[in-house]
Amino acid sequence: MDIRRDTEGIAHISGCDQREVFYGLGYAHGRDRALQLLLMRILGQGRACELLSADDEMLEIDMFFRRMNWAGRTGKEIQKIPPEAMAVCDAYCSGVNKAIGERKPWECRLLGYRPEPWRIEDILLLSRMLGYLTLSQSQGEMERLLVEMVQAGISEEKLHELFPGILQELDVGLIKKIKLQERIVSPPSLWNTGAPQFMASNNWVVSGERTASGKPILANDPHLEVNRLPNIWYEAVLKTPDRYLMGASIPGLPAVLIGRNPDLAWGATYTFMDATDAWIEYCKDGRYYREPGEWQAFHQRRETIFRKKKTSVEVVFYENEHGVLEGNPYNPGYYLATRWAPADGGAIGLTHILRLWSAETVEEAMSLLGPVESSWSFVLADGAGNIGYQMSGWMPRRREGISGFVPLPGWDRRNDWQGFVDHTDLPRCINPESGIIVTANQNLNELGNANPINIVMGPYRADRIQALLETGGKLTCEDMYKIQYDVYSPQARQFMEILYDCLPDTPAAEILKNWKYNYSADSEGAWLFEAFYQALYREIFGNNGLGKDALGHLKTHTGIFTDFYLNFDRIMMSEASSWFNGRTRGTIYARAAERALSGEPLPWGKSRQVMMRHILFGGRLPRFLGFDRGPLTLIGSRATPHQGQIYESAGRQTTFAPSYRMATDLSTDRIHTNMCGGPSDRRFSRWYVSDLENWKNGRYKQLSPEDTEKHHPFK
């Protein structure tokens, strides 16, 4: 086995077989990203109070991860992993442990932490974390919002308008009886301790009939935090005498999640499959009621959370077939129990993604990726010219007419899950007549026999990408670059069509009237439109709906408005709505515009400055030491192909934007990429942020399995 770096610092790993090259990938992860993968394991195990900090916020984070219990229940999953996949995983773990044994991160000494060996259990833990944080979590947040709105007295008419078609069997009286517990932890708090957020992404594939080369082109740009160092992704090229695999991996996992081999390319985005349900449990004396007249005992899982220089905390979690209870069943009342479908999985996804090493066709890849436990939208292309799309995920099979969005009585056995939907019934397609497949977290239910999605992001990004691809002539990878940096907003255009006639005769309004819906750094129109958009939110949902305090909490402490703005957009663009409380749309728009246009506009980029903060020391050390970098200017918005979203939580800033960009033409053996960061998490490495200037300036480097003899030793 041999590891070398190319001129961009990317690890090129050569070996005689798959086992050797994945040993090398583990070694590269352990050398370049040991701090990252160790921190993620500490979090996933619920040991942050023990090893990082004993403050109350960290205790809440530990409580969250202990509740999810992803570090537990791994024994049965490990037994499902076939011998060939287990051999690769063992080799990968050996590589990680070899690297950490040679050179532990100096931060471990500072924390007083002696890392345990990396094991197959840790691989499963990370795969579960990545499948849930934070998009599945935000689905649960939205379902929780429904309960809070019912209990706040929001009318059924308004609820059905906000959540159209998914409130079957909504029992307002019963939901008002639920004893809600405090939200355990907000998504931004998780990121600030090193956990990644998979907020959104774009990917697309075009057939050779539309390309200059005559072969398919595939592109992908996952939208995650860019104000974190290191970047979550780690690029690598793996090569044996007869095969290669290259693209983006995640430290801690033996897999290339976005990339290609000689015959096949794949890209992934998250899809908002509803794989999380809540049931209402009627409890007393530590038991829960089940028809016809049975009181059953919960399984009690006891956890001890150790805290640095503080007394440890004992926690009891009450579990049944519906998941973990939010509350104490010894206090009589109605509580929610919540379950995420893939919580105990991981073996299938791990095994099948490893088999992409030898996959040659789109159809073969669809059969491998469809059964993956967590939910993703995969686009695919092969050298024979085929393109395809496959949604993955364990979609619960519910009784007829139930969407999964509304919490239903747990005592009614008809509301239990009835297995999972077969992946061939999930949205999927191969070689569509248009020659184009685009996913951008939009509704894709029309491509399947099942309807896994009940609440989604808006279609704006997908619509814009589709339009650009259709008008692009014979496409090249350079055309993909332009799309990945596109900052035109179809959402803004639709709102402006309504707003235009409501604008006053002022200089600021004139700027907005002449705006071309682009969120470039110098755009004053973008700044003014966003001021209007936020004012419109407050007019409709703050003043007369949710209340100003609740609206402020949702915007600053959850991803609800960040992820699911389409539900609110539909109401804000309606000609009439119960949320208007008798006012006309024109009156509301005019009032929001008056408030928004009263100040002097700024260039959009002036309001989009973020610091890239180190995952352990972020904001705690002097700037001149270089652990934090920036400021970084984010272009784009929620509805542009190049997203650029920023929000605050507890005084901390988080973002999501294209963290990694890739495009590959199947006529070559190259991937064109850039990344917001670099290969290493070592502050004093030359590779700490070595790709950042490429990312900022739209330059793409090349990954190729060729010419490895010209590369440098791996140091």
Give the single-character DSSP code of 414. Answer: G
- What is the structure's pLDDT at 556? 59
Residue 580 CB coordination number (10 Å): 19
Tell me which DSSP letter residue 427 carries. Answer: S
User: Tens of pLDDT along 331-342?
Assistant: 999 999 999 999
For strand 408-409 and strand 276-284, is the pairing parallel, antiparallel, or unpaired? parallel
Take residue 242 and report the two structure tokens written for it.
């007869």
Residue 558 belongs to some domain of the structure: yes
- Looking up residue 533, the CATH number of its domain turns out to be 1.10.1400.10
Q: Which domain holds residue 522?
A: 490-606
**Residue 555 within any structural domain of the chain:** yes
User: With 60 as the cut, is the pLDDT of residue 85 above it?
Assistant: yes
First to last CA, the chain: 15
| Average pLDDT of span 152-162 | 92
**3-state secondary structure (DSSP) of residue 662:** strand
- Among candidates 133, 151, 152, 129, which has minimal Cα distance to 141? 133
Percent of the chain clearing pLDDT 90 (strictly above): 82
What the block records as the tokens of 422 is 């077969």
Q: What is the C-alpha separation between 657 and 692, in angstroms, rounded?
A: 14
- The whole-model pTM stands at 0.95
How confident is the model over 268-294, as a mean pLDDT? 95
Asked if residue 668 has a cis previous peptide bond (ω within 30° of 0), the answer is no
Region of 181 on the Ramachandran plot (φ > 0 left; ψ -120 to 50 alpha; else beta): beta
pLDDT at 181: 81
Average pLDDT across the chain, whole number: 92
User: Taking 80 as the threshold, does the pLDDT of residue 540 lie above it?
Assistant: yes
Side by side, the strands of the sheet bearing 228-229 are 228-229, 609-614, 629-633
CA angle at 690 for the pair 630 and 639, rounded to the nearest 5°: 60
Under the banding of pLDDT at 50, 70 and 90, the label for residue 68 is very high
Are the C-beta atoms of residues 649 and 188 closer than 8 Å to each other? yes
- pLDDT interval class at 184 (50, 70, 90): very low
Q: How far is 181 from 409, CA to CA, in rounded Å?
A: 18
Residue 655, pLDDT score: 83
Is residue 565, in this structure, part of any structural domain at all? yes
Cβ 268 vs Cβ 247: under 8 Å? no
Please give the structure tokens belonging to residue 365.
């890849």
What mean pLDDT do residues 374-398 have? 97
Structural domains counted in the chain: 1
* Helix, strand counts (H, E) of the chain: 24, 29
The predicted structure's pLDDT at residue 200:
76
Q: Is residue 243 part of a domain?
A: no
The pLDDT-based confidence of 18 (bands split at 50, 70, 90) is very high
Report the amino acid identity of residue 94.
S
Sign of the dihedral defined by the CA atoms of residues 40, 43, 44, 45, in that order: positive
Sequence-ordered alpha helix ranges (H) in 192-325: none
Evaluate if residue 652 carries a pLDDT over 70. no
Number of neighbours of residue 418 by Cβ within 10 angstroms: 11
My answer on whether omega of the bond before 230 falls inside 30° of 0, hence cis, is yes
Q: Is 643 helix (H, G, I), strand (E, B) or coil?
A: coil
Q: What is the mean pLDDT of residues 300-327?
A: 96
Residue 572 domain flag: yes
Q: What is the pLDDT of residues 631-644, one digit of tens each?
A: 999 999 999 999 99
582 is a domain residue: yes
- Give the per-residue SS3 of 27-92: HHHHHHCHHHHHHHHHHHCCCHHHHCCCCHHHHHHHHHHHHHCCCCCCHHHHHHCCHHHHHHHHHH
Share of the chain above pLDDT 70, in %: 93
Domain assignment present for residue 293? The answer is: no
Q: What is the pLDDT of residues 421-477, one digit of tens each?
A: 999 999 999 999 999 999 999 999 999 999 999 988 899 999 999 999 999 789 999
Residue 302 scores a pLDDT above 50: yes
What's the pLDDT score for residue 190? 45
Judge whether 147 lies within some domain. Answer: no
Find the mean pLDDT for residues 390-415.
96
pLDDT band at 531 (very low <50, low <70, confident <90, very high): very high
Q: CA torsion sign, 267 to 270 to 271 to 276?
A: positive
- The number of residues making up the chain comes to 715
Amino acid letter, 472: G
Reported as a pLDDT band with limits 50, 70 and 90, residue 145 is confident
The pLDDT value recorded for residue 142 is: 84
Question: Is pLDDT of 194 > 60?
Answer: no
In angstroms, rounded to a whole number, what is the distance separating the alpha carbons of residues 195 and 37? Answer: 10
What are the Cα distances from residue 297, in Å, to 283, 318, 330, 411, 506?
10, 9, 11, 13, 67
Q: With a cut of 50, say whether residue 702 has pLDDT above it.
A: yes
Q: How does pLDDT run across 403-425, given as a tens digit for each residue? A: 999 999 999 999 999 999 999 99
34-44 and 18-32 are packed helices; what angle lies between their axes, rounded to 10 degrees? 90
φ and ψ of 148, to 5 deg: -65, -35
Q: How confident is the model at residue 187 (pLDDT cuts 50, 70, 90)?
A: very low
Within 8 A by CB and 6+ apart from 599, the residues are 508, 531
Higher pLDDT, 196 or 408: 408
